[in-house]
Amino acid sequence: MERTPCDLLVFGANDVVTWVDGVAGDSVAVLDGKVVAVGDQASLRAAWNPAEETDASGSVLVPGFVDAHTHPVFAVGRAEEFDWRAQGVDYLEIARRGGGILSSVKNVRECDEGRLTEIVEGHFQRMLGLGTMACEAKSGYGLSLDAECKSLRAIRDAAELTGMEVHPTFLGAHMIPAEHRDAPDVYMDLLCEEMLPRVADEGLARAADIFIEEGAFNLQQARRYLERAKELGFALRVHADQFNELGGVQLAVELGAECVDHLEALTDAGLEALALGEKKTFAGLLPAVPHFLRQSIDAPARKLLDAGVPYFVATDFNPGSCYTPSLAEAAHFARVRLCLTASEALYGVTAGAADSLGIGDRRGRIAPGYEGDFLMLDLPDIHHFGYAFGECPVM
Ligand SMILES: [Zn+2]
C-alpha cells in the first residue's frame, strides 16, 4: 500500500489524551500543522510516511494548554506588596502605600508602548515554555482610552512576535481609576460612550469583561456596561463572586456571557442560574488565586460539575493576586483545593478552556482536523497530572 506523506509522527506514548470518543492510540501524525491521524503506531506507520519522527516513549500526549483567563499587560510586578500582605497589612493600607491595582495602572500609563509590548512578549514566551499554546489576555491596567488601547495593541503585537494564539479581552471596567473615584458614573460614561466603541472600531478585542465586586463595580453599573458591550458585538466574560456575592453571576447568565470567573462566594441561587442558563455560561475556576491571597474559601467546584455546568481551569496570571503563568501549577491547585481528579483538571486547562473561547472545534483536543499543538508530558500516566507541584511536566 502506498503511504501518504506527513510532516511528523509522534509515536509510542504511554497514552494520548484526545477528549474525543473513538479517537485513541499511542501515536499522532501531523501534516501542515494539523493532526491528520491518531492511532496505534503500527497502523499509523502502515498509512503514513513521516518526514520527521519523535519518540514519545515514557510520556503522555495531551492537547496544548489553553489559558482562558490572564492579565499579562502589567509593567512591573508587585513583590513588595506580597511582603506587606505577609506582614498582615490590609487592602486599604496597601492602597494607601501606593500598592494594589491602581499601582499597576500608574506603571502601565507611564510605560512606553514598545517597552510594554516587550514585557507582554516576555510573559507569552514564559507561557509557551510552560505548555500554553493559546490564551485569553485582558487589558485592564490602563483605565483610560489611551492606556487601554495601548495595552490591547501590546497584546496584539506580542502575539504576533511570539506565535501565541491570543484572544484579547477589553477590561476597562477592572477598577474605577483614581481621577474618577468620586464620580464613578463619569467613568461609566467614558467606558460606554468612548472606550468600548473605540475598541470595537479598531478591532482590538473580541470580548469585554468587568470586575463586579465591592470597591470595583456594582450590579447596576455592570448591567449598563455589559449591555452596551453586547450591543457593540463583544462576547462577554465576567469577574464575579470573588469576595462578595452581588448578583453578578445571575446577570452574566441572563446576558449570555461566555463565562463568569472566580465564584469563591457563589451562592445556591448563582449555582442554579448557571445550571439552568439557556446559553451555557462557563464557570471559570481560578484555584491558585485563593492560595496566593491566603484565603480559606474556594469555588464550589464539585457542586458546579455535579450540576453539569461547563467549566475551565485558568491561572488568572496577574501581578497582584496570582503571579503564576503555569497551567500545570493551576491544575495542581485544582486538584488540591477544588478536589478535581487529574482528568477533570486536565480537561479544564484544555477542552473546557478552548470551548469557553469558542475554539473547541480546533483546539483543546487531539483528533484529525485539530491544530497540531499538543504536548509531551513527562508523566507515566494521566493520574500523575497535577500530582507533582513546583516542576513543569512539559517536555
Ligand atoms: Zn482576573
Find the CATH number of the domain harbouring 26: 2.30.40.10
Distance from Cα 369 to the centre of ligand 1, integer Å: 32
- 132 and 211 assigned to the same domain: yes
In this structure, the answer to whether residues 19 and 105 fall within a common structural domain is no
Tens digits of residue pLDDT in 361-375: 999 999 999 999 999
Q: 183 with 136, same domain?
A: yes
Q: Is residue 391 part of a domain?
A: no
Q: Are residues 59 and 83 in the same domain?
A: no
Distance 321 CA to ligand 1 centre (A): 8
182 assigned to some structural domain: yes
The reported pTM is 0.97
Q: Is 253 helix (H, G, I), strand (E, B) or coil?
A: helix
Using 50, 70 and 90 to split pLDDT, how confident is the model at 93?
A: confident
Q: For residue 211, list its beta bridge partners.
A: 239
Given this model, what pLDDT does residue 94 score?
86
Mean pLDDT of 300-320: 97
Residue 214 lies in a domain: yes
Query: Does 180 lie in the same domain as 156?
Result: yes
Residue 20 in this model has a pLDDT that exceeds 90: yes
Cα 278 to averaged position of ligand 1 atoms, centre (Å):
25
Question: What dihedral do alpha carbons 20, 23, 29, 32 form, nearest 10°?
Answer: -40
Residue 295 is assigned to a structural domain of this protein: yes
Residue 92 has pLDDT above 80, yes or no: no
Q: Are residues 185 and 278 in the same domain?
A: yes
Cβ neighbors of 344 (< 8 A, separation 6 or more) are: 305, 334
pLDDT over threshold 90, residue 98: no
Percent of the chain with pLDDT over 90: 94
For residue 173, the surrounding DSSP H or E stretch is strand 165-173
Q: Grid coordinates standing for 342? A: 487529574
pLDDT digits 0-9 by tens, 194-227: 999 999 999 999 999 999 999 999 999 999 999 9
**Within a domain: residue 395?**
no
pLDDT tens for 152-196 read 999 999 999 999 999 999 999 999 999 999 999 999 999 999 999
Cα 393 from chain centroid (whole Å): 19
For residue 324, the SS3 value is: coil
154 and 183 inside one domain: yes
76: left (phi over 0), alpha (psi -120 to 50) or beta: beta
Residue 39 CA to ligand 1 center (angstroms) comes to 39
- 239 C-alpha to ligand 1 centroid (Å): 7
- For the chain, percent of residues with pLDDT exceeding 70: 100
In a shared domain, residues 304 and 371: no
**C-alpha cell recorded at residue 67:** 489559558
- Same-domain status, 37 and 109: no
- pLDDT at residue 340, rounded to an integer: 98
Asked whether residue 79 is domain-assigned, the answer is: yes
The number of distinct structural domains making up the chain is 2
Q: Residue 296 belongs to a domain with what CATH number?
A: 3.20.20.140
What SS3 state is found at 35? Answer: strand
CA–CA distance, 363 with 342 (Å, rounded to integer): 20
Helices and strands counted in the chain (H then E): 16, 15
CA 201 – ligand 1 centroid, Å: 25
* 261 CA distance to ligand 1 middle (Å): 8
Cα 242 to ligand 1 centroid, rounded to whole Å: 10
Look at residue 346 in the predicted model and tell me its pLDDT.
98
User: In this structure, are residues 349 and 67 in contact, taking their beta carbons and an 8 Å threshold?
Assistant: yes
Ligand 1 centroid–CA 389 distance in Å is 22
C-alpha 322 – ligand 1 centre gap (Å): 9
pLDDT of residue 276: 95
Above 80 in pLDDT, residue 26?
yes
Q: What average pLDDT does this structure show over 273-302?
A: 95
Which residue in 250, 238, 327, 319 sits closest to 288, CA to CA? Answer: 327
Residue 154's pLDDT is 98
User: Amino acid letter at 285?
Assistant: L
Q: 28 or 85: which carries more pLDDT confidence?
A: 28
Residues 75 and 12 in one domain: no
Residue 79 lies in domain: 65-356
Q: What is the mean pLDDT of residues 93-112?
A: 90
Whether 389 maps to a domain, the answer reads: no
Ligand 1 mean position, distance from CA 23 (Å): 34
Establish if 194 belongs to a structural domain: yes
pLDDT value at position 113?
Answer: 98
pLDDT at 99 over 90: no
Give me the pLDDT at residue 97, please.
84
Tell how far the Cα of 69 is from the centroid of ligand 1, in angstroms. 6
Residues 51, 69, single domain; the answer is no
- Say which residue, 99 or 221, is predicted with more confidence: 221
Q: Taking the CB of residue 90, how many other CB atoms lie within 10 A of it?
A: 10
Would you state the pLDDT for residue 95?
78
Is pLDDT at 258 greater than 90 in this prediction? yes
Q: What is the mean pLDDT of residues 310-338?
A: 97
pLDDT of residue 79: 92
- b/e per residue 324-356 (b: at least 16 CB within 10 A): bbbbbbbbbbbbbbbebebebbbbbbbbbbbbb
Q: How far is CA 374 from CA 39, 67, 98, 182, in A?
A: 15, 14, 42, 49
Cβ 264 vs Cβ 298: under 8 Å:
yes
Q: Same domain for 178 and 99? A: yes
- For the chain, the first-to-last Cα distance in angstroms comes to 34
Mean pLDDT of all residues in 292-310: 96
